[in-house]
Amino acid sequence: MSNLPQIKVFNTATKKLENFETVLPGIVRMYVCGPTVYDRSHLGHARTYIAFDAVKKYLILRGYDVVHVQNITDIDDKIIKRAQETGISWSEVAEKNIKSYLDVLKKLGVQPTVSPRVTYHVGEIIEAIEKLIEKGYAYESNGSVYFDVSKYEHYGELSGRRSIESWRQEEDVLKEKRNPFDFALWKKMKEGEPHWSSPWGEGRPGWHIECSVMSSRYLGIPIDIHAGGGDLIFPHHENEKAQSEALFGVRPWVKYWMHTGMLTIKGEKMSKSLGNMVYIDEVLDRWSPEVIRTWVLSSHYRSQLEFNEDALQQYEANQQRISTAYRELKNLIKEAQQDFRLEDKDIATMREIEKLHNDFHEAMSEDFNTPLAFRSVMKATDIFYSKVKEGKSFAIAIQLWMFLNEANYVFGFVLQEEPSSRDDERFRQLIELLIAVRKNLREKGIYDLADGIRRSLAQLGIELQDSGLETKYIVRK
Ligand code: AMP
Ligand code: ZN
């Protein structure tokens, strides 16, 4: 395709659509706020992660290299509380939920370049806080450290919030602060809580500072995209912005702030605090990751998205129609005659496909309008069934393929099979297991069964080679 449209992004900071231009040519540095791992991930999380994965994939499609950092908050009040409630250690709570988060993320086809954890960066966080104190933006109070918002003149710029109405805080914390808006960079240790040594005594990092430290660690300064759910604009992103611009002396620290609309259930935000969660792993038992992606991306990332099983059912039908066309098209290309003599009606079909392909890029370039882009994909799929499937024209098939393949990369109607590394690993483990069983049989003098294993493996092309106490294997092609 030629003359692709300029990409435009809605920037929360300016509330405007802006032309997308990266700080460094050709490279997008993108940071997405990831989960606090006190529980398994729910569909609200999936909404945000899939939305920004599609943004990332579209940017890659447009030729950018994208470095995508998505952090894991593995120490926090909620994790400590969950550990106290369940009687297991805070690190076990975090570990278990990190495993499940990474597992569902991979299944959904979302793979950040780096998934840094807070507890691996405490030293750097302490250094950043020390610098903020040195620069006069932060102060120590009773073993905790707070960011002094009165010292940062642009506080409130991102969220438009400065009022403290309905913002409840604990009395003893309020007493330590100069201003109720000041936020904790370092929290003094409470009895029985995990803690690290610092110049201010034992304690742990506050929530916001981690994202400034880890984003600059992996992406440098400034960054192109900072993303997360809309629920994070205040206070999290407002605080991140204030402390980062104060710490790094760079303004703006983030070129484009991007936020998703909330995933709701019965009109209410899906959240752990409301207890209305539908966990991703449970939804994955009922629906394929491809259906979940198709459904999530059927709405614009900035819109609210209501969860119900009927919608998933509808998108399952759509996803299957597209994925079947995609697979059949692949086969058709293999089988079709490479005949380039085209009739007029073929040329008209090719024009139609080209128009839809253009529409797809127009939609994606206009603030990643996936629902509109999706309509072009559906129309192209209709063309497959009505005109391409029977016609078996190589030229048309290949043109449609170029479109659907790009759309698939962004949407994930058919998620690419994992490279066989995981299967290779399973295969290796299985052979090692059989070698161990054979060794055991030989030690017990049961040579006929041991030799039976060797023979069966040989029939499958796997040759065992004994040398001393060790047995190796060779796979014959
Ligand atoms: P949390 O673990 O709550 O800090 O959330 C991790 C990420 O998921 C953040 O970017 C949140 O903004 C996002 N998120 C949490 N709940 C929802 C929801 N109901 N809808 C959309 N995004 C959400
Ligand atoms: Zn964050």
* Cβ–ligand 1 contact at 213 (below 6 Å): no
- pLDDT above 90 (res 337): no
Provide the pLDDT for residue 419.
44
Kindly report, residue by residue over 113-151, the tens digit of the pLDDT. Answer: 999 999 999 999 999 999 999 999 999 999 999 999 999
Provide the pLDDT for residue 398.
85
List the single range of 4-8, 170-174, 268-272, 412-416 with lowest mean pLDDT. Answer: 170-174
Q: What's the gap in Å between 261 CA and the centre of ligand 1? A: 10
Q: What's the gap in Å between 213 CA and the centre of ligand 2? A: 10
418 pLDDT tier (thresholds 50, 70, 90): very low
Q: Which run of H or E residues covers position 19?
A: strand 16-19
Percent of the chain clearing pLDDT 90 (strictly above)? 74
Provide the pLDDT for residue 434.
79
List the single range of 14-23, 35-44, 139-148, 384-393 with lowest mean pLDDT. Answer: 384-393
Q: How far is CA 42 from CA 80, 234, 278, in A?
A: 20, 21, 5
Question: Which of residues 383 and 425 earns the better pLDDT score?
Answer: 383
CA distance 123 to 125: 5
Query: Amino acid identity of 53?
Result: D
What value does the mean pLDDT take over residues 358-368?
98
Provide the pLDDT for residue 349.
93
List the single range of 3-7, 9-13, 311-315, 329-333 with lowest mean pLDDT. Answer: 329-333
Report strand pairing: 462-467 vs 470-475. antiparallel
Percent of the chain clearing pLDDT 70 (strictly above)? 94
* Cβ–ligand 1 contact at 325 (below 6 Å): no
**Mutation probe of ligand 1 site: the residue of 39, 45, 268 with most atoms within 8 A of C-beta:** 45
Contacts for 143 with CB less than 8 Å, ≥ 6 apart: 188, 189, 200, 201, 203
Q: How far is CA 224 from CA 105, 210, 302, in A?
A: 23, 18, 18
Question: Which of residues 76 and 393 earns the better pLDDT score?
Answer: 76
Provide the pLDDT for residue 338.
63
Predicted model pTM: 0.86
* Cβ–ligand 1 contact at 228 (below 6 Å): yes
- pLDDT above 50 (res 332): yes
* Cβ–ligand 1 contact at 33 (below 6 Å): yes
Q: What's the gap in Å between 119 CA and the centre of ligand 1? A: 20
**Mutation probe of ligand 1 site: the residue of 231, 262, 265, 278 with most atoms within 8 A of C-beta:** 231
* Cβ–ligand 1 contact at 71 (below 6 Å): no
